[in-house]
Amino acid sequence: MMSKKSPQLRFEGFTDDWEERKLGDEVRIVMGQSPNSENYTDDPNDYILVQGNADMKNGRVFPRVWTTQVTKQAEKDDLILSVRAPVGDIGKTAYDVVIGRGVAAIKGNEFIFQNLGKMKSDGYWTRYSTGSTFESINSTDIKEAIISVPTIEEQNKIGSFFKQLDDTIALHQRKLDLLKEQKKGYLQKMFPKNGAKVPELRFEGFTDDWEERKLNENVENIGTGRSSFKAGLEYSEQTPYEVLGSTSVISYSDSFDHSGNFVLTARVGANAGNLYKHSGNVKISDNTVYIQSKNLEFIFYLLIKYDLKKLAFGTGQPLIKASELKNLKLFSPKTFGEQQKIGSFFKQLDETIALHQRKLDLLKEQKKGFLQKMFV
């Protein structure tokens, strides 16, 4: 079977077939060599050490460990390829760095960088590590890797296109990270700190001290689900009611046992203390603790701020009891109006975060599509 010689999508003016080449004939490759561990430091004035995937984040070297010993080096703008599990992860360095034996440095352009990223996502390197007890690739594997390349002019066009796309993705990632950090900050400032009766930051017009109350005095009901249901049913006219499990909707039913607004968490297991919210006519499974409240948003974010995982106990599987939740003492505003304001604020912030997450996910999916269509 003949290999494909040109991509599905090309820039105007380029029609020549792409050529198959060995990666080692196109770029210079330097295999890493680890310094002695006694020379590792946490001093940013020393040499940045890149040992593997842990030292890269979002396709960029992220300084984490330093060394006083220089072994093998990569220069600024070199590509860094992970040669040990997870094999094939690729990043760039904005610094001169020392490279350990878990990585290799590649002197390649943006086209090569994107091509190596596609090879990783396509599972190219798995052929070298299948059946191995320790997943790794060596110098020969890298140098002998076959890539298809066009002219330098077309490489540059493709590289520039993907660099711009990556820059846009990075910008959206930074915006998303900033929003998440802002949310953390607001959670700290808009709920009272330990020992305080008022928060640091309040909406205008509210000045009264917050009151400490048991959670069951602030909500309609707290309990554990007891609903019987058939697992795995999908939504239909015959089964329109959702069955709520410990982390999400797990089935549908022809009847419901509860009606209202709910904050829910797993009763037992690793998800005990992780919260989600849901409203409607529902059934609730027996591994799920629920808090029913008319003021859903405020209670949800109040409990997020408290961090219910602190309430989970048990030497084996973490456990949360409805009886413990009922007696949990928390500070809350005296007025329903202030509670509503706070809940609405965080709900809107979460919706903004979700919108940015969707935009970011869409950009990443678009990039995957372009990689498949613009490379051979």
Q: What is the pLDDT of residue 2?
A: 45
**Is the same domain home to 307 and 365?**
no
- Buried b vs exposed e over 325-334: b needs ≥16 C-beta within 10 Å? bbebebbbbe
Proportion of the chain above pLDDT 70, given as a percent: 98
- Render pLDDT for 235-256 as a digit per residue (tens, 0 to 9): 999 999 999 999 999 999 999 9
Same structural domain, 159 and 219: no
Residue 14 lies in a domain: no
Please give the pLDDT value at position 133.
62
With 50 as the cut, is the pLDDT of residue 143 above it?
Answer: yes
Indicate whether 264 belongs to any domain: yes
Q: Which residues of 234-243 are buried (b: 16+ CB within 10 A; e: fewer)?
A: eeeeebebbb
Q: Does 238 fall in a domain?
A: yes
Does residue 133 sit in the same domain as residue 54? yes
Range of the domain at 287: 211-332
- pLDDT tens profile 8-50: 999 999 999 999 999 999 999 999 999 999 999 999 999 999 9
| CA–CA gap between residue 192 and residue 182 (Å, rounded) | 17
Sheet of strand 258-266: strand arrangement: 221-224, 288-292, 258-266, 276-284, 241-244, 249-253
Same domain, 327 and 342: no
204 in a structural domain: no
- Residue 157 has a pLDDT of 98
- 141, 123, 150: which is closest to 9 by C-alpha? 150
- Cis upstream peptide for 86 (omega within 30°): yes
Whether residues 133 and 109 share a domain: the answer is yes
Looking at the chain, the whole-number percentage of residues with pLDDT higher than 90 is: 90
Report yes or no on 9 lying in a domain.
no
The band of 129, judged by pLDDT with boundaries at 50, 70 and 90, is low
**Phi, then psi, of 31 in degrees rounded to 5:** -80, 140
Are residues 169 and 215 both part of a single domain? no
Rounded distance between C-alpha atoms, residue 322 and residue 216, angstroms: 10
Amino acid at 43: D
Per-residue pLDDT of 252-310, as tens digits, reads 999 999 999 999 999 999 999 999 999 999 999 999 999 999 999 999 999 999 999 88
pLDDT single digits (tens) 168-183 = 999 999 999 999 999 9
DSSP conformational letter for 274 = -
In terms of domains, do 361 and 288 share one? no
Counting the structural domains of the chain, the total is: 3
Does any domain span residue 8? no
Cα angle 195-208-346, degrees, rounded to a multiple of 5: 75
The whole-chain average pLDDT of the chain stands at 95
Shared domain for 23 and 145, answered yes or no, is yes
CATH of the domain at 43: 3.90.220.20
| Statement to judge: residues 279 and 163 lie in one domain | no
- Residues 328, 341 within the same domain: no
Same domain, 37 and 143: yes
Q: What is the pLDDT of residue 3?
A: 56
Regarding whether 327 and 343 lie in a shared domain, the answer is: no
Take residue 74 and report the two structure tokens written for it. Answer: 């990569």
Report pTM.
0.86
Residue 104 lies in a domain: yes
Inside any domain, residue 74: yes
Q: Give CA–CA dist 310/308, Å, rounded.
A: 5
User: 345-366: string of b/e by CB count within 10 Å (b at 16+)?
Assistant: bbbebbeebeebeeebeebeee
